[in-house]
Amino acid sequence: MGYLLKQQTFVLRSSLSHLLLGTFIFFLCYFVFLSLRFWINKSAIDVRTSDGWGYIALFIYGLTIALAYSMTFTGLETRVKVIGFLMTPCNPIEKYLSRVIIATVTGFVGILLTYFLADGVRMLLDWAIVGKQVHSTIPGFFNALGDFAEGLTDTRDFPATISALALWVYSLTFFILCSSVFRTKAFIKGIGLYNLFVIIGLIIVGTILFLVVGNYDDGDVGDREDFFNATMVAVSVILWLFSALNVWWSYRNFKQSTIL
């Protein structure tokens, strides 16, 4: 497995470096865009603003991890490319896991580092242009992450937080599945399908909530909350199950893939 990881990292080094460079430029453009009005006014960015940016950065981070997962099976677009990988003497599960591990490390660690780097460059620009009170968005990013983690331990916020987490995990596994199904432009195609599924899912869940919770006109507010929480937990259970299905399906696709 170690040799396979080394080999695949070597094979994918070009695609991975392009992904990380692209993410770095994206983060930098985002920070520069948000900083423009401060730079024009030569004013300082206050800590609360940079905290807000941290929340948005967390969202972008989650999205770019999905992008990294959509590249799980990148480099297997043509017969010539796929033969080398499929003929490597390892079991299909090892090859599958090696790709998922590389996507995970690139997504969670690599992209986080590019975010830190982009924020560092933005701070340097801040310091050069405004000259004082330079703030990092990184504490804001970790505050947002901490708020999310707190939601998992808080009884009141737990149903909403767990369903948000389930939706995110589902999204990541969905993009692994897309990568195993679509040999080219997996992210673009995946986004299209994902939006379709999420919209359909929201319509179904929204309709249930509207029909049931909306009918508690004279009922106790506690009943509405209970039903809402129960729905969120049910949705998250369904999403976890679909996530497992996505992983199984993507492995099955990979295992049965041929050079056709």
Partner 1 sequence: MINIQNIDFTYKKGKKKVYTDFSAHIEAGGIYGLLGRNGTGKSTLLYIICGLLHPQKGACTLDGIDTSARMAETLKDIFLVPEEFELPATSMRRYVEINKPFYPNFSEELLDYCLSAFDLDRTVQLGELSMGMKKKAFISFALATNTRVLLMDEPTNGLDIPSKSQFRKALASAASEERAIVISTHQVKDVEQLLDQFIIIESDGLLVQSSAADITEKFRFDMHDLSYADDNELYSRPSFSGKETISLNTSGEDTPINLDLLFTALIEKPELAKYLNNEK
Which residues sit at the interface with partner 1, rule CB under 8 A?
3-4, 6-7, 10-11, 79-81, 83-84, 86-92, 94, 255-256, 258-260
Residue 45 DSSP class: P
Spatial distance between the Cα atoms of 90 and 109, rounded to a whole number of angstroms: 26
**Nearest distance from residue 257's CB to partner 1, in Å?**
9
Between 183 and 224, whose beta carbon lies closer to partner 1?
A: 183
Token pair for 131:
């000259």
Spatial distance between the Cα atoms of 18 and 12, rounded to a whole number of angstroms: 10
Spatial distance between the Cα atoms of 122 and 135, rounded to a whole number of angstroms: 10
Residue 77 DSSP class: S
**Nearest distance from residue 155's CB to partner 1, in Å?**
48
Cα atoms in the Cβ-side hemisphere of radius 13 Å centred on 142? 5
Closest CA to 20 of 135, 81, 143, 102: 102
Size (the chain), residues: 260
